[in-house]
Amino acid sequence: MTMSPVSVLLLAVGLCALVPISEQQTSLNRNSKEITRTEVARQNRITQQILAQYLQKKLFPHLTPVTTEAPPVTGNSAEQDAGEALDSDESEQISSHVSYDDEEGNDCSNCVDDSLGSNTINRWTMPLLKLGEKRYYLGIFFKANWYKSAQYCRYHGMHLASISSQQENDQLEKHIRDSGFGLEHFWTSGTDQGEEGHFFWMSTGRPLTFTNWNAGEPNNFRYENGEEEHCLELWNRDGKGLKWNDTPCSFETYFVCEVN
């Protein structure tokens, strides 16, 4: 039997009507989600690039921005990008923690030494500034107590800073001041938690051989909640520069990491 074009059209419309509305809606939702994931991934990449360039320009203006060519687009690139953008924070932290000794014996594979003129910056890089024999990282993107600050430094292959000379103290103070944080507090690795009044550098285990305390410090002030001051911070208390102060280790502030 031969069917006319009109009959074929009517038959097709009827078959479409047999498909449940819920299945059609499910298919539309699935396509919409895939498009959304891809768009989110694309915008995340753009946001990360803009943020990285902004931070580089503000904090490390002497570095040359890097421009890279976009990789060729393949059939699965959108799905891969979406998967990377939607990875959990946990997997991102683990990836950034891969650490090993470099050629100079420094356990900080995620770090880039600004003094070497490196212009490679990505989201896995810890920007360092070489001052004397040490390289420093300023923890200025969030505040943490002394323990969490020490953990963060160690997690990235570094230690909370120690200061063994007036020269080190002056160089570090200038770096912090030039970065615009001269009036803030900064944790070092100094502590007397082992024995009251006997401060040492947790990063090296060595006692303090050079000191730069604020007047009247350390005083181990006791607070109403019973907490005492056992951790060493840098603080411009009297407007005379970043000198040393003992304060409760639970106090949340910025911090300085170092690697030799």
Each residue's pLDDT tens digit, 150-208: 999 999 999 999 999 999 999 999 999 999 999 999 999 999 999 999 999 999 999 99
Q: For position 13, what pLDDT does the model report? A: 41
Tell me the pLDDT of the chain averaged across its residues: 73
CA distance 256 to 172: 9
Each residue's pLDDT tens digit, 209-225: 999 999 999 999 999 99
Each residue's pLDDT tens digit, 119-143: 444 444 678 999 988 999 999 999 9
Tell me, what amino acid is at 158? M
11 vs 29: which has the higher pLDDT: 29
Q: What is the CA radius of gyration of the chain?
A: 28
2 vs 251: which has the higher pLDDT: 251
Angle (CA) 222 225 226, round 5°: 45
Task: Give me the mean pLDDT over the 54-77 stretch.
Answer: 50
Q: For position 127, what pLDDT does the model report? A: 83
Please name the residue that has the structure tokens 């009044």.
Answer: 197
119 vs 41: which has the higher pLDDT: 41
Residue 229 near residue 216, CB atoms below 8 Å: no
Q: For residue 22, what are its two tokens?
A: 């819920």
- SS3 state of residue 46: helix
199 vs 82: which has the higher pLDDT: 199
Q: For position 171, what pLDDT does the model report? A: 94
CA distance 150 to 38: 38
Q: What's the CATH class of domain 114-259?
A: alpha beta
244: left (phi over 0), alpha (psi -120 to 50) or beta: beta
Task: Give me the mean pLDDT over the 66-85 stretch.
Answer: 42
